[in-house]
Structure formats: structure tokens, C-alpha cells
Structure 1
Amino acid sequence: MSLKAIAAALGLSVTTVSRALNGFDDVAEATRKRIEAEADRRGYRPNAAARRLKTGRANAVGLVFPVSNASLNDSFYSEMLLTLDQCLARHEIDLLLLPDKNPDQQRNLLRMLRSGALDALIVTHTTPHDPRLLRLQQKGFRFLTLGRSRLPQPYAWFDYDNHAGTLLAAQHALQQGYQNLAYLGGNELSTYILDRRQGFMDALMARPLSQHMAALPPTRRSGYQQTRAWLAQGSIPDAIITDSSPLGEGAAIALQQAGRLSGAQAIALYVYDGLPHDSIIDEPVNAILQSSQQRIGERVAEMVLQLLDNQPPEQLQTLWQPMLRLTSDAQ
């Protein structure tokens, strides 16, 4: 199906039809909608290569994912990525996953940026002083981060208030009268890991209570082994807060095996993001929850589109607050 057929059907010039379908802003909105409706009715799709030549865009966004730090098998993260991909696809924009695991990969990424193959980047697992983001700012390349960093210039970011989440959990534990709190966290240097740990520490700052802290690989095995080690000690925690679902499920399995997940001798367990969707544990735990991953994917996609439309980065900064779901709410 050609542009000429659409133009003839609407009584418009081929140039007007082409510019409307390729995203130029010099076509009246009412006319654009007529053209898009006729194109949809006829099943027309613009030629991607031709559109790139006309608009100067690659119609592709890269998502930098450090495979050594997190797994694409994470069901929460996968749901967000699926929604993000679907939202961008509705605007004829491809989402490309780019592994980031060593300096060579960063050099490869810079070569890709210079080639014009990407219109923008989404950078995950940011660190407090992230050299990747500083390099992108210096190059003047458009990017949005999932997480925050300290940079000399404003930039676009989406984040949760990770500090507030563990603070909520620890404060609730203290209100319940627990005196021996444990924190089971990841050993990465990502900002969100550090913020979650700091939230726990700030809650206990004014309370000289017994506490245990562990920084481990964010896996179910690590959570299981560390919780078993705590249970074998003389000073057993009466509440455990974990900063991720895998660590939380490992802790839950250890507590269940010891008969301490529920009942009179239960140790309160607070899990950031809750247990995985496919968890083998069917008993409820206290959960630090963020918005649904579908809503997060939709919001990130919206911000990416605004970034591509040259909205100033200081206007593209979103911080969402967590909530605490208690086992009493789930029963």
C-alpha cells in the first residue's frame, strides 16, 4: 500500500501524508489524525529505513543492563521490561537490551552511540558517582536512568524512594516491640542498595538495640544460608528485613524449615518487593511494595518519549513512594 493511495483517498498531497506519518510537527493535528486513521484502515506501515533518513532518528532506545548484578529471570523486572517494550512499540520504537559487564562493553556502547543506531539510553543499576552517566553527559547524549546518581548537570531519572521503604519496615518492627533486628542486604554498590541499607540504619540510629547486618550476593541461597547462621547463634533476631525478593525467599525457606515463619515462635520477616511470583513459600510475609511493574513500565516509556521530544531533563524526574503490606492485611 503506497502513500499515493492514502493521499488520493483523502484529497491530500503525498508530501503532507508522508510528513504526518513520519512524525513531522508541521501538519495540523486534525489532518494528522485523518491520515493516521486511513493508514491504519489500510494496514500501511512506513518504511523504517526511509523514515530514519527523513527524521534523523534511529527509532531505537537501548537499555543498559548489568548482567552480573541482576537477572533477567527476575519476574518483577521482566514484567516492567515487557510493558516498556510494548509501549515503545506502539510508537514504532524498538527497545534493545545492551549487556554492560566490563569496560570493553562500555567502549562498544560508545561506538554504537557514535554510529547513530540509538536515539537514547535507559541506564539501570546506577551508582552514587556513576562514570557511565558522566560520560553520557559529557557527550551530550540523551539518557534516562532507573535510579539516581550525583552528576554536575540535571538529567532524567525514574526512581523509588528506596530509603523510605526499609525505614518504614524498621520503624514498624520497632513499634511492635522487637529488640533484636537483622538486615539482610545485597553487596552491590548500586544506589538503591545503599539507600535501602541506610534507611534501616537511620531507623535504628536513636535506638541502641541489638542488630545483625549482612551484605551478600542477592540470591536465594545467600538469604537461606545467612538466616540459618543467625538461627544457630545465641542471639536470634526477632525480626529480619531483606532488601530483595531472592534474599527474602531464602530467609523465608530457612525460617519455615525451623518452624519460625509462623506461629507462636515466628520471626517477623519484611521483604522488599515481597516474595517472587513463583515462590515455593505460600505463607504471607510483610512486604515493602512499590507500584506495579506494569505502571512503572508505562511511566518510564512516557518519560522516554518526552525525552525524545526534547523535554528538558530537569522536568523528567519521578520519585515514587513505597508502602508496607503487613501479613495481617493479607490474611
Structure 2
Amino acid sequence: MNLERLANLLGMSKTTVSRALNGYPEVSERTRERVLQAARDNGYQANPMARSLALGRSNVFGIIYPLQPADLGDAMFLDVVAGMSAALEQEGKSLIIAPVSQAAELATYQQFVRGRRVDGLIVSRTQVQDERIAFLSKARFPFIAHGRTEHHAPYAWFDYDNAAGIGLAMQRLLGLGHRRLGLISAPLLLNFARQRKDAFVAAMADAGLALDTRYLIADTLDRRSGYQAMQQLLACQSRPTAVIVDNHLSGVGAVRALLDAGVRIGEEISVIVWGRMEDTLAGIAVSTIDQPDAARAGARMVQMLQALVEGTPAASLQELWQPALIEGATLGPPAS
């Protein structure tokens, strides 16, 4: 059964039948229901290429990503992408990832928008001041941000509650009696890192504790930099009794540095890492701030982006999921 035969069966023009099948508003609800029922009864399936051409869509969503070597081994990133891909496959759509250099990132966004290569974009690792989001907003091109930014115009975003996650970690460490606390951060131009540091600083102030700037180390987003950051903390004459690492990529290196130094984790120094760690440090149950359901989060972002493409206002497509503190063997009271 093709479109022409379906139209002949119904005694309608192909244009009317096509518009009814594709949800055009000028077709009455009664006509639409009649066409859809006839399509179901007769096993009609639309040609996806023809449908996409008629709607002016590619049926492709995209991620433009300045991939670093560590990203290829990042289980959380891969889980999110897997969730996106699975959700799109169910809808007969595709996901493309365009790896670019950091210098060429914005230019690549501009090329994708001018060429309408995709129906929408997922913007990852959002920055405090993000020129990608400013550009896409001005171009009125559909996108969802995986993370927030300080951009003031309404835009669609999905994020985890960074302040709440750090709050959970700080509440637990302070409750154990820790007063000398350190933070190993990703680059602070990244919005998640800035929000997590701000939450750490606020929690210290609320507890009446002074910040020791030696215990605040930023610009770590891989194993090597995390390892070096922890070595720097260990070299302090009066080192912190507890450390939060705000990303799991650095967390692997930070924990490895403690092991190599012979530090009894959870006894001499307590550690909490943001993100899953079970696949990287066999035999060590690291306490983590967990972002649950990474694959489901990826699928949800796809659903939100599809809703945006179909006309849902961006301001109503903003979701903040809650992280959870998963306690492992790396927590304990400060050594006396």
C-alpha cells in the first residue's frame, strides 16, 4: 500500500492524505482520524525519506564535541550517548557525533546551522559564558544544553543539581568531623565546575570554616591532572583530612595517587568523587556523588530536543535531576 493507493481508497487527494498523516493543522481532526485509521487497516507505512523531505527535516540529531583522549574511556559519556542513540533508533532517527578541535568548535556549529545538516543539536560541557549557546539562541536553531550556563534568554537544558550533590558530600564529611577539606575541580570555565566550587565554598562558610586556598586545585579533567592535584595536596605541611573530586575522570588519578603514596583511604584521608568509579579501580569501593540513570538521561535529552523541534517552548524544557551520595570504603572520621 502506497500513498496513491491509500488516497484512491479514501477518495481524497494525495496532498490531503499526506497532510493528514504528517499532522498538518489545516486538516480537520475528523479527516485526520479517518486517514490514520485507513492507514492502520491497510498496513500503510510512510516512506521515511519522502516524509523527511516533505517536512524539511533530516531525522538526525548531532553532537559537536571536542573529544579528548580521556573521553573515549569515559563510561558515563558513553552511557549517555548510548541512551540517546537507542531513543533515536526507536523513532527511526540517527545521532551523529562530530569530533572537532577546540579551536574549530564554534565554526563547526555555524556550518551545521547554515547547512541544516541536523534537526537539532545537543551542547555538552556547557561553559559559564557559552558562545555556542548564545549563537544557537540567536540563530533560533533547536538545541538542548547538557548542563546550564549564565545565558539569560530561555533555552532548553538538562542537568543534575550540582549544588545539591556537593551539599550531600559536605554534610557527610562535616558530620564525620572533618574541618580541613580540599576540592579538586575541573576547569572553572565549565559551568558544572563553577557551580560545584561555589557550593563547596558556601558550605565551608555556613560551617564557619576558613578556606585554605592550598586545598583548592582546579583545571583537572583527566587521570594525570587528578593524580598531580592529589600529590600537591599530599605535599602540604598540614594536608586536608578529606577531599572532594568534582569529576570522575580526575577522580581515578586522585585515588591512584593516594594508593601509590601508601595513604590509608578512609582513615588518613577521606575521599568522595563525583561520578561512577566502579569500572576503574578494582577492589576499592570509592564513595561517590552518583548521577543515576545515565542512559535514561541521554534518552530524556533526545525526547526534550524532539519536543523542541516540534514546537514546545524552550522555557518549558528544563529539567534538573537529583544526584545521590553512594557511600563506599573511602569515608571515615579524621585521624586524631
Does TM, scored on the shorter chain, surpass 0.5?
A: yes
Q: Is the Cα contact below 8 Å between 1:20 and 1:35 reproduced in 2?
A: no
After TM superposition, the structure 1 stretch with the greater mean CA deviation from structure 2, 248-257 or 310-319, is 248-257
Q: Is the Cα contact below 8 Å between 1:21 and 1:36 reproduced in 2?
A: no
Which residue of the partner structure matches residue 314 of structure 1? Answer: 315
Give the direction of change, closer, same or farther, for the CA distance of 1:36–1:298 in structure 2 (3 Å limit).
farther
Which residue of the partner structure matches residue 246 of structure 2? Answer: 243
Give the direction of change, closer, same or farther, for the CA distance of 1:183–1:29 in structure 2 (3 Å limit).
farther
Which residue of the partner structure matches residue 273 of structure 1? Answer: 275
CA separation in 2, counterparts of 1:185 and 1:94? 34
CA deviation vs aligned residue, 1:265-289 (integer Å, no higher than 9, x gap): 34211010131x4213322121101
Give the direction of change, closer, same or farther, for the CA distance of 1:3–1:245 in structure 2 (3 Å limit).
same
Q: Is the Cα contact below 8 Å between 1:227 and 1:254 reproduced in 2?
A: yes
Which residue of the partner structure matches residue 118 of structure 1? Answer: 118
Which residues of structure 1 form unaligned runs of 5+? none
The alpha carbon displacement at 1:81 in A equals 0.7
Which residues of structure 2 form unaligned runs of 5+? 332-336
Which residue of the partner structure matches residue 221 of structure 1? Answer: 224
After TM superposition, the structure 1 stretch with the greater mean CA deviation from structure 2, 304-313 or 16-25, is 16-25
Higher relative contact order (CA 8 A, sep 6+): 2
The alpha carbon displacement at 1:19 in A equals 4.6
CA separation in 2, counterparts of 1:29 and 1:70? 51
Return the TM-score normalized by structure 1.
0.85
Which residue of the partner structure matches residue 256 of structure 1? Answer: 259
* Percent of aligned pairs with the same amino acid: 32
CA deviation vs aligned residue, 1:12-70 (integer Å, no higher than 9, x gap): 8683664566555646357537636865xx8x56141x223311222222222232597
Which residue of the partner structure matches residue 334 of structure 2? Answer: none
CA separation in 2, counterparts of 1:248 and 1:329? 12
The alpha carbon displacement at 1:134 in A equals 1.4
CA deviation vs aligned residue, 1:276-324 (integer Å, no higher than 9, x gap): x421332212110122102201211110111011001111011112111
Return the TM-score normalized by structure 2.
0.84
Give the direction of change, closer, same or farther, for the CA distance of 1:33–1:166 in structure 2 (3 Å limit).
farther
Cα RMSD after superposing both structures:
3.0
CA separation in 2, counterparts of 1:30 and 1:84? 34
CA separation in 2, counterparts of 1:37 and 1:159? 43
Which residue of the partner structure matches residue 157 of structure 1? Answer: 157
Query: Counterpart of 1:240 in 2: which secondary structure?
Result: strand
Which residue of the partner structure matches residue 132 of structure 1? Answer: 132
Which residue of the partner structure matches residue 39 of structure 2? Answer: 35
Give the direction of change, closer, same or farther, for the CA distance of 1:104–1:178 in structure 2 (3 Å limit).
closer
